[in-house]
Amino acid sequence: MEDVRRTIDWVNGAVEIIDQVALPGEYRTVRLTTVDELIDAIRRLAVRGAPALGGAGALGTALAAFAHDDPAAVRADAERLAGARPTAVNLSWGVSRALARLGDGPDAVLAEALALLDEDERLNREASARAAELILEKCPRRPLRLLTHCNAGRLATVGWGTALGVVWHLQAAGHLEYVLADETRPLLQGARLTAWELAEAGVPHRVLPDAAAAAAMARGMVDCVVVGADRIAVNGDVANKIGTYGLAIAAARHGLPFVVVAPSSTVDPGLASGESIVIEERSPEEITTISGIPVAPPGTNVFNPAFDVTPAELITAVVTEKGPMTP
């Protein structure tokens, strides 16, 4: 895991991403030279996951700063970028952080963005180490069997990962038996991306339909659920990939720890509770078709929220690089 490529980086004057739409079929990078290309990549989920979106926001602001002499034009691009996806707070946080250096010129904006990238990987390592310690305390069984949802690995961050960061730490310490990875309907971040990362790292794993997670818990196949986050309110409510809330209910029913891991950039200090989090709704075709093939009658109405909010009372701990968060 030490020498792997970053999910998003600045290479020769442009943003380079690992193309997550192509995985697992093809591992390739894509070069993005304009803010519009980056916004399109964010909307298509070619780059995705809250911490990686923080990097995208900061690097995209650097692209804008190099593209325009007029600060108002840079700010307009930055605003469009920050709104490309609404739920993960890291995107607008990354934009604001880089934009704050605009007065010092484009090189300063880029320097801030690059500092944010370095920090992301370091903070994810720390947060996931803290979460691994806590899980070892809460779960007596060895080796551990974890269940995760969506992809909160290196692909969802600049590097290392959050929930999967816990997996890397536990595996290195010899405390991991296996990971159950929810496939994560409808866009299959679990089956396509988490399974790809786990296979690459040689971690024993199985992919299961989201609907089978509660049954796996009932059969005693899970010691702890560990997930990432897209936005955390100060009371400890957590927005994450759709299906997380249901998992938390099932974990509570079976008396299993439910642990959320995220860098502190995912905590929204202005948000009192999860109630007012804007939940992205995505296109009906993500539900009515699979790989372009219709699976519902033409014209079927759809409810397709990309995220849900898990109330703090169902969460054992939200762990950042600072340790478990106190609501």
| Residue 157 sits in the site that holds ligand MRU (CB under 6 A) | yes
The answer to the question of residue 94 lying near ligand MRU (CB under 6 A) is no
Q: Give me the residues paired with residue 29 across strands.
A: 18
**Which DSSP string do the residues of 8-58 spell out, in sequence order?**
EEEETTEEEEE-TTTTTT---EEEE-SHHHHHHHHHTTSS-SHHHHHHHHH
Q: Which stretch binds ligand MRU (CB under 6 A): 54-62, 95-103, 114-122, 150-158?
A: 150-158
261, 148 Cβ separation under 8 angstroms:
no
Binding range to ligand MRU, per CB under 6 A, among 29-37, 55-63, 105-113, 227-235: 227-235
Smaller CB separation from ligand MRU, 12 or 291:
291
Instruction: State the nearest-atom distance from the C-beta of 303 to ligand MRU, in Å.
Output: 16
Taking the least distance from each CB to ligand MRU, the nearer of 49 and 94 is 49
Give me the amino acid identity at 128.
S
Q: Among 77, 230, 268, 308, which one carries the catalytic annotation?
A: 230
Residue 86 preceded by cis peptide, ω within 30 = no
241 among the known binding-site residues? yes
- Minimum CB separation of residue 252 from ligand MRU in Å reads 19
Based on the residue annotation, tell me whether 230 is a catalytic residue of this protein.
yes
Residue 181 interacting with ligand MRU (CB under 6 A): no
**35 part of the interface to ligand MRU, by CB under 6 A:** no
Query: Residues 14-22: contacts with CB within 8 Å, 24+ apart?
Result: 14/63, 15/56, 15/59, 15/60, 15/63, 17/41, 17/46, 17/47, 17/56, 18/47, 18/155, 19/46, 20/45, 20/46, 20/47, 20/48, 20/155, 20/192, 20/193, 21/45, 21/46
Q: Is 230 in the site for ligand MRU (CB under 6 A)?
A: yes
- Taking Cα atoms as reference points, which of 80, 151, 152, 154 lies closest to residue 117? 154
Q: How many whole angstroms separate alpha carbon 20 and alpha carbon 27?
A: 8
Decide: is 57 part of the binding site for ligand MRU (CB under 6 A): no
Does 51 help bind ligand MRU (rule: CB under 6 A)?
Answer: yes
Number of residues that bind ligand MRU (CB under 6 A): 18
Per CB under 6 A, does 32 bind ligand MRU?
no
Give me the helices (H) in 68-162, please: 71-82, 89-99, 106-138
| Residue least distant from ligand MRU (Cβ) | 228
To ligand MRU, the closest distance from the beta carbon of 87 in angstroms equals 8
Q: Binding to ligand MRU by residue 49, rule CB under 6 A?
A: yes
Assess 229 for contact with ligand MRU (CB under 6 A): yes
The 3-state DSSP class for residue 318 equals: strand
Strands 224-227 and 289-290: unpaired
C-beta of 125: minimal distance to ligand MRU in Å?
A: 13
18 binds ligand MRU (CB under 6 A): no
- Single-letter amino acid code for the residue at 254: H
Give the x-and-dash track for 262-301 against ligand MRU (CB under 6 A). ----------------------------------------
Question: Residues 137, 316: contact at Cβ < 8 Å?
Answer: no
By the criterion CB under 6 A, which residues form the site for ligand MRU? 45, 48-51, 88, 150, 152, 156-157, 162, 189, 228-230, 240-241, 306
* Active site positions, annotated: 230
